[in-house]
Amino acid sequence: MPGGREACGRFLGVLARPTAPLASCAAVTARLAVRVRLGNTAGEDTGRPPDPTKTLEDDVASEVQRTITGIGVCPGKVVGPVVFLPEPLAEPSPGLRLRPTADLQAEADRIPVAAAQVQADLERAAASATGDTRDVLEATAAMAADPTLAADAARRVIDEHLIAERAVWEAAESVAQQFEALGGYFAERARDIADVRDRIVAALSGRPAPGVPDHPEPFVLVALDLAPSVTASLDPARVLAIVTDGAGPTSHTAIVANAMGIPAVVAATGASEALAAGDTVLVDGSAGTVLVHPTDQQVATARALAATVRTFSGEGRTADGHRVQLLANIGDPAGAEPAAAAGAEGVGLFRSEFCFLDREQPPTTEEQVSAYRTVFHAFAGRKVVIRTLDSGADKPLHFLSVDDEENPALGVRGLRTAEKWPELLEQQLEAIAIAAAAEEAEVWVMAPMVSTVAETEWFVARCAAHGLETAGVMIEVPSAALLAGPILARAHFASIGTNDLTQYTMAADRLLGSLAELSDPWQPAVLQLVAATCRGGDLQGRPVGVCGEAASNPVLAAVLVGLGVSSLSMTARAIPDVAALLGAVTIGRCREVAQLALAAESAAEARAVVRAALPQLDELGL
């Protein structure tokens, strides 16, 4: 295949399709483990030969309690046995070629059939899924359906006499190398190509598709990392928790786990080596710890807390009545009703990209109006904050052609696209205004990737021209946080996207598992910028919210409220836990722990000192 960005063909559009959270703050996670051990409980094959040198003393020593630390991304304490993700498919031998008398065309024809089977399996799984899970499965199915990979593999069968499995492997390797050469976000997408490759090779060879192993009881899944489709296909009834050596707090693994309500600890370096198949572990998704061999009392306490079902219906407040709006993040119209049913007070982030992705032409005004009205209708009488098109970087669109960018994350994205294609923004604002007029929701509009006062002033003026009087901005880059005062002298509100703000503050790609420690919203530098934004809001009498993944962490939510944040928007599933902790602490206590976090010198220290200062966490099981 030819080299360069063009050679990636339609894969660019397919791979760029983000899950809802990764649209603002992302997309699909990076690499699957290169080697992972298969394990299960005693009495079953652990996938590892017995060690003849192991003694009784070793067995006794293995029962010693120890703690593995990572980054918690979904609250909850669960206990279960360790099961490792099975090893990925072995690479077909490079020397495998067809006999001279073989029917080359028949062998080549097997490839699109296998790809279609993979596509159908993934689409079938997507049909019974919702939200982020459905988005990822559909995106992976689209990759399997793309003819680029299958056509190149078929050519290799005809020209080089490779067996179909080897041809697919080499064709996928070629595409992956091109993405790796592009660097940044696209380099991380090479993992997605390998995921599709493995599924097609499995279909060709009659083996089970890669995925979560069967196990007779619910378990804790341990892996170096998880492929996007594996994460999206997790069954919360089977997988009690996730522990990964890699990935980060804003990775796909973390975001989907949070959306599903599966406690997860990511960036737990060395976990795969430190744990053994069948080990009983207590995973604390809030503290980011994995306790190996918990005591009977610890197990009983964790299970009692896990049996507690929290709900939320009302208004978010601290114990002494300080008001904090608890809102939901919505990725598409289908998410509106579930979020409303979960008791969300409104929508703090309605991502509008769903209308524009995977299309050759932008949606019509009528299409947009219909989609927006669905969400506005579900939240009649309540606030809905819709974000205008956030394209570029990890969300390139077929109909927007940007010159070659060495670093798309720092290129033409978000509101910057409106300078080159102003008609898209004008049409979208028109559609939002029509939809808002037809429904009873309190509609606010905000622009992504705002960096300057001038951009803010221009966007607010464009909204006003369409009769949209409540216009705000997202704070995702340090310049916007530092200029929050003058920016909020123009804008009516600000919403902090902590995923991107962390990425740009720490100069760390949020999708790179190797930079997970830096991609942590607990970083004191990030919290300092949140505080600066809130000071700007106070100065101008404007509300400041948070709509990034940080809002869904109850402990960090208390810190954000203490810094001056007035609303928190998150996956609807997280609202009850956040409400429970806020309802157990006073605003004064929130301010105290916020100062502790600001004074810390690392993310780990900030997290630790705040947790130590909130005894309510143990009582609530958070």
Residue 238's domain comprises: 66-85+212-307
Task: Write out pLDDT tens, residues 136-189.
Answer: 778 788 888 888 889 999 999 999 999 999 999 989 888 888 877 776 556 666
- Pair (414, 442) in one structural domain: yes
Q: Is 322 a catalytic residue?
A: no
Q: What CATH number does residue 604 fall under?
A: 3.20.20.60
On whether residue 516 sits in a domain, the answer given is: yes
Contact 190, 147 (CB under 8 A): no
**136 plus 267 within the same structural domain:** no
**Residue with more model confidence, 314 or 601:** 601
Confidence of residue 484 (pLDDT cuts 50, 70, 90): very high
Task: State whether 226 and 166 are in the same domain.
Answer: no
611 found inside a domain: yes
pLDDT at 579 > cutoff 70:
yes
Q: Which of residues 210 and 23 earns the better pLDDT score?
A: 210
Last residue of a domain, one of 171, 205, 239: 205
487 in a domain, yes or no? yes
The reply to whether 495 and 597 lie within a common domain is yes
- Structural domain includes residue 47: no
* Annotated binding residue 170: no
pLDDT in tens, 274-333: 999 999 999 998 888 999 999 999 999 888 877 778 888 789 999 999 999 999 999 889
From 8, 252, 355, 492, the catalytic residue: 252
Q: 109 a known binding residue?
A: no
Q: Whose structure tokens read 């996928």?
A: 172
Q: What pLDDT digit, counting tens, does each position of 202-260 carry?
A: 889 887 777 777 678 899 999 888 876 677 778 888 899 999 987 777 677 777 787 78
pLDDT of residue 196: 87
Choose one of 166, 190, 205: the last residue of a domain.
Answer: 205
Residues 464, 500, single domain; the answer is yes
Residues 343 and 279 in one domain: no
3-class DSSP assignment, residue 386 = strand
Is the same domain home to 445 and 386? yes
Please give the tally of structural domains in the chain.
3
Per-residue model confidence (pLDDT) at position 405: 66
Catalytic residue flag (residue 547): yes
Whether 434 and 574 map to the same domain: the answer is yes
- The C-alpha atoms of residue 135 and residue 132 are separated, in whole angstroms, by 5
Most confident range, picked from 16-20, 87-91, 103-107 = 103-107
Q: What are 547-575's pLDDT values in tens digits?
A: 988 999 999 999 999 999 999 999 888 89
Looking at the fold, whether 334 and 283 belong to one and the same domain comes out as no
Averaged pLDDT of the chain: 83
Within-domain flag for 57 = no
**Mean pLDDT, residues 459-481:** 97
Whether 391 maps to a domain, the answer reads yes
Question: Which residue is it, tokens 């032409």?
Answer: 361
Domain shared by 287 and 365, yes or no: no
**SS3 of residue 219 by DSSP:** strand
* Whether the Cβ atoms of residue 132 and residue 256 lie closer than 8 Å to each other: yes
Query: What CATH number is attached to the domain comprising 240?
Result: 3.50.30.10
CA distances, 388 to each of 10, 72, 349, 428 (Å) = 25, 31, 10, 7
List the single range of 3-12, 135-144, 534-543 with lowest mean pLDDT: 3-12
In terms of Cβ atoms closer than 10 Å to its own Cβ (0-12, 13-18, 19+), residue 577 is buried
Of the listed 25, 74, 547, 590, which one is catalytic?
547
Residue 373 and residue 458 in one domain = yes
**Contact by Cβ (8 Å): 523, 252:** no
Say whether 45 counts as a known binding-site residue. no
Check the annotation: does 510 bind a ligand: yes
In contact, 247 and 256? CB cutoff 8 Å: no
- For residue range 335-354, list pLDDT tens digits in order: 999 999 989 999 999 999 88
Tell me, yes or no, whether 29 lies in a domain.
Answer: no
Residue 6 lies in a domain: no
* Among candidate residues 205, 238, 260, the one where a domain is terminated: 205
Identify the DSSP state of 209: P
Q: Do 114 and 189 share a domain, yes or no?
A: yes
Which DSSP string do the residues of 77-142 spell out, in sequence order?
A: EEEEEEEEPPPPPPPPPTT-B--TTS-HHHHHHHHHHHHHHHHHHHHHHHHT--HHHHHHHHHHHH
Is the pLDDT assigned to residue 4 strictly greater than 50?
Answer: no
